[in-house]
């Protein structure tokens, strides 16, 4: 056989293979299209108070992270809990033959497509409107409020303040839904005292992956109750929650000070979270190579010593800011409070010239991030990629982490804050699905960098993701034993390692409450087809 003849045969074989492959992929795509299209007619026939949208659905394929785009088959706008149950029950009754999945979406503030589903049903939880938020303060052992899973925390704040009450634990950003934060944990500067939001819930109403509507609490369906809290949406959709309340303060004395040394900064933070009834809010953040930092603070804060503050230079330094808040009521003796605050601060080792303070209403303080949001939106800098990295670092290794990351791997904080503060593990309920390090005190380290769309430089998505990976690899090599908060993994092995001793319970609950693995596919913990094969 001649060389030319052999080449011609080879080319013909390649053409045959390509044609076969194209035909096979076309058949698969056609079959999938048929499967999904055949689901549309029965879905349209579901008896709903709300409605299913099949056309205007592109908004449900995006989230705050702005990195993943998965187009659903439909978006459910429920007007009642039974709407959600009906849609899920329909898919449940289809059994193993259906590839439809369901994702609950609040404000779409997830980072990596966790509230998305390709060719599935996205449930727009904000459509689930209650008749009215009901605050219960008379006749109850402790006050509480019953709210929809799609309600925003900012609305809960506004409504409960009318009764002189407020939830105990918050997130830094309040324009999030109740179901969204309770499916993760919900933490902010009050968590050292009250624990995360999942530690301040009395009762839930949940729609499981079988379409069941179940009430659960510590005494009723407790396995589901604890599983759903911090459960990443894997066992059910939170449609109602009973949130613990406390008397609300009127005002907040809000203070910031700077440290040059991380160990001193961390030591003082730990001293404060261990102190009884001092500050009500304790956070901190890392500042790397920021110019004119204290001058920027003057826009909202007043320096204790204006002259010394004007002489402090932040250029080229890695600094650590301690941020604290003291709540008070209008009839409190401010002179006494200010003297107490002064005494508490005198025990700390911050740079004396950097004390700044202000007084704001409690509502303004809690909604402080929304002010930044409006500014960023006005500049077109809000809806950009957010390749954030949130970590929980054990106290015993936090100094090593800071030494290896801040100013080394992480060399700039101009494109987003780096938040660092400790919390007490004793305030977390270990029966929930939320995962934390084993030590009594651990730190939240939230590296909240925004990327510049289309950039290929240091402020681009790819560079930031590589930097985040370096931080994770460094931490793993050093054996820090940290955990991801708002976790994102792609393999079963990684998820098993993340959950550790809780993994077996997590898998058991999945089998019990969502046996078809239809819920929250965007978390990428259980893939529907593989899970069906595994569990059958």
Which token pair is 247? 């008397």
Helices (H) and strands (E) in the chain, counts: 17, 19
CB-based contact 327:347 (threshold 8 Å): no
Boundary of a domain, candidates 186, 212, 247: 247
Residue 372 located in a structural domain: yes
List the pLDDT tens digit at each of the 536 positions of the chain. 554 454 445 555 555 555 555 444 444 444 444 454 556 778 888 999 999 999 999 999 999 999 999 999 999 999 999 999 999 999 999 998 889 999 999 999 999 999 999 999 999 999 997 667 889 987 778 999 999 999 999 999 999 999 999 999 999 999 999 999 999 999 999 999 999 999 999 999 999 999 999 999 999 999 999 999 999 999 999 999 999 999 999 999 999 999 999 999 999 999 999 988 899 999 999 999 877 788 888 889 999 999 888 888 887 889 999 999 999 998 999 999 999 999 999 999 999 999 999 999 999 999 999 999 999 999 999 999 999 999 999 999 999 999 999 989 999 898 999 999 999 999 999 999 999 999 999 999 999 999 999 999 999 999 999 999 999 999 999 999 999 999 999 899 999 999 999 999 999 999 999 999 999 999 999 988 665 545 54
Asked if residue 400 is part of any domain, the answer here is yes
| Catalytically annotated residue among 77, 83, 109, 226 | 109
| Six-digit token string for 337 | 């409070």
**258 & 291 share domain:** yes
Co-location of 193 and 279 in the same domain:
no
Tell me, yes or no, whether 33 lies in a domain. Answer: yes
369 and 282 assigned to the same domain: yes
- Which residues share a beta bridge with 410? 406
Task: Give percent helix, percent strand, percent coil of the chain, each to the nearest 5.
Answer: 40, 20, 40
Nearest one of 399, 170, 173, 398 to 281, comparing CA atoms: 170
109 flagged as catalytic? yes
**Whether 236 contacts 206, CB under 8 Å:** yes
The answer to whether residues 240 and 275 belong to one domain is: no
In a domain? residue 125: no
Distance CA 115, CA 109 (A): 8
Same domain, 138 and 158: yes
Q: Look at residues 450, 454, 426, 452 and name the one whose alpha carbon lies nearest to residue 439.
A: 426
**Residue 32, pLDDT score:** 45
Which residue in the list 63, 270, 283, 323 is annotated as catalytic? Answer: 283
Q: Based on the domain organization, do 237 and 263 belong to the same domain? A: no
Give me the domain span that covers residue 413: 251-484
Domain end (from 199, 231, 247) = 247
Residue 411: which CATH number?
3.40.462.10
Q: How many domains does the structure of the chain reveal?
A: 3
Q: Is 218 a catalytic residue?
A: no
Residues 195 and 262 in one domain: no
Whichever domain contains 162, its CATH number is 3.30.465.10
Look at residue 97 and tell me if it is in a domain.
no
Cα(14)–Cα(8) distance, integer angstroms:
10
Distance separating alpha carbons of residues 498 and 425, to the nearest angstrom: 17
Rounded alpha-carbon distances, angstroms, from residue 374 to 109, 367, 378, 383, 441: 16, 12, 6, 11, 34
> How far, in Å, CA of 495 to CA of 474, rounded?
19
Mark whether 452 and 425 lie in a shared domain.
yes
End of a domain among 232, 247, 262?
Answer: 247
| pTM beyond 0.85 | yes
Which two structure tokens, joined as six digits, stand for 192? 């050292």
* SS3 of residue 319 by DSSP: strand
- Residue 505 to residues 120, 314, 433, 494, 511: CA-CA distances in angstroms? 27, 49, 9, 16, 10
Question: Is 411 in the same domain as 283?
Answer: yes
Q: Decide: residue 158, CB within 10 A, 0-12 exposed, 13-18 middle, 19+ buried.
A: middle
- Are residues 239 and 257 located together in one domain of the fold? no
Residues 186 and 299 in one domain: no
Identify whether residues 338 and 368 lie together within a single domain.
yes
283 part of the active site = yes
Q: Which of 53, 136, 158, 172 is catalytic?
A: 172
């Amino acid at each position: 056989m001649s060389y030319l003849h052999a080449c011609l045969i080879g080319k013909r074989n390649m053409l045959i293979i390509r044609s076969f492959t194209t035909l096979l992929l076309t058949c698969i795509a056609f079959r999938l299209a048929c499967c999904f299209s055949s689901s549309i007619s029965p879905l349209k026939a579901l008896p709903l108070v709300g409605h299913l949208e099949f056309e205007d659905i592109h908004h449900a394929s995006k989230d705050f992270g702005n990195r993943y785009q998965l187009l659903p088959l439909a978006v459910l706008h429920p007007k009642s809990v039974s709407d959600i149950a009906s849609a899920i029950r329909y898919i449940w009754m289809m059994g193993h033959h259906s590839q439809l999945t369901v994702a609950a979406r609040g404000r779409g503030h997830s980072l990596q497509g966790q509230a998305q589903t390709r060719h599935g049903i996205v449930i727009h939880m904000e459509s689930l409107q209650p008749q009215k938020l009901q605050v219960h303060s008379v006749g109850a052992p402790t006050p509480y409020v019953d709210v929809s899973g799609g309600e925003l925390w900012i609305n809960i704040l506004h409504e409960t303040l009318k009764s002189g009450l407020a939830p105990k634990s918050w997130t830094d950003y309040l324009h999030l839904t109740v179901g969204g934060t309770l499916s993760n944990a919900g933490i902010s500067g009050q968590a050292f005292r009250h624990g995360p939001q999942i530690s301040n819930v009395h009762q839930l109403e949940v729609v499981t992956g079988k379409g069941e509507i179940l009430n659960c609490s510590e005494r009723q369906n407790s396995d589901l109750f604890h599983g759903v809290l911090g459960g990443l949406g894997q066992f059910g959709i939170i449609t109602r929650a009973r949130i613990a309340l406390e008397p609300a303060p009127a005002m907040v004395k809000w203070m910031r000070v700077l440290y040059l040394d991380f160990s001193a900064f961390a030591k003082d933070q730990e001293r404060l979270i261990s102190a009884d009834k001092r500050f009500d809010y304790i956070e901190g953040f890392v500042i790397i190579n920021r110019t004119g930092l204290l001058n920027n603070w003057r826009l909202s804060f007043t320096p204790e010593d204006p002259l010394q503050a004007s002489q402090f230079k932040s250029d080229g330094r890695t600094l650590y800011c301690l941020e604290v808040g003291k709540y008070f009521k209008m009839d409190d003796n401010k002179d006494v409070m200010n003297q107490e605050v002064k005494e508490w601060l005198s025990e700390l080792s911050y740079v004396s010239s950097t004390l700044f303070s202000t007084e704001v209403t409690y509502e303004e303080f809690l909604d402080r991030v929304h002010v930044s949001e409006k500014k960023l939106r006005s500049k077109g800098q809000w809806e950009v990629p957010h390749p954030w990295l949130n970590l929980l670092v054990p106290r015993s290794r936090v100094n090593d982490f800071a030494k290896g990351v801040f100013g080394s791997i992480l060399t700039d904080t101009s494109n987003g804050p780096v938040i660092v503060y400790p919390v007490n593990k004793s305030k977390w309920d270990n029966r929930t699905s939320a995962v934390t390090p084993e030590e009594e005190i651990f730190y939240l380290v939230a590296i909240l960098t925004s990327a510049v769309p289309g950039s290929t430089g240091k402020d681009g998505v790819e560079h930031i993701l590589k930097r985040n990976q370096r931080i994770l690899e460094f931490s793993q090599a050093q054996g820090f034993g940290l955990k991801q908060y708002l976790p994102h993994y792609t393999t079963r092995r990684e998820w098993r390692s993340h959950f550790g001793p809780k993994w077996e319970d997590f898998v058991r609950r999945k089998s019990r409450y969502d046996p078809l693995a239809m819920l929250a596919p965007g978390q990428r913990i259980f893939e529907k087809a593989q899970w069906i094969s595994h569990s059958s």
